[in-house]
Amino acid sequence: MAKPNIHPQWYPEAKVYCNGEVVMTVGSTKPELHVDVWSGNHPFYTGTQKIIDTEGRVERFLRKYGMMEGDEQTQNQEPKQGKKRR
């Protein structure tokens, strides 16, 4: 059993607000939680996630590892001949 008078008050039905609307209820030590992002509006969970390509980094990565569609130049290149270790 928990020690008396050392734990914060527990609210089993705390309301979570996002943009002024109640989006869910959870257990918390605060009666109300105000959040900017939750699973209902986060791009990862809603499937609207977009990759932001800053300075061509994504394209360069895809080209480097031969993942670009229609990128036949990197697929047809022969591996570079390096020094052999003995």
Residue 73: what pLDDT? Answer: 52
Q: What is the pLDDT of residues 56-80, one digit of tens each?
A: 777 888 888 888 776 555 445 555 5
Strands 11-18, 21-28: pairing is antiparallel
User: Is 21 within 8 Å of 33 (Cβ atoms)?
Assistant: no
Residue 70 or residue 34, greater confidence:
34
Range among 12-16, 40-44, 70-74 rated most confident: 12-16
Residues in the chain: 86
Residue 74: what pLDDT? Answer: 46
Q: Kindly report the average pLDDT of the chain as a whole number.
A: 79
The answer to whether the pTM exceeds 0.75 is no
User: Is 27 within 8 Å of 11 (Cβ atoms)?
Assistant: yes
Residue 20 or residue 46, greater confidence:
20
Q: Which tokens sit at 72? A: 């036949």
Residue 47: what pLDDT? Answer: 76
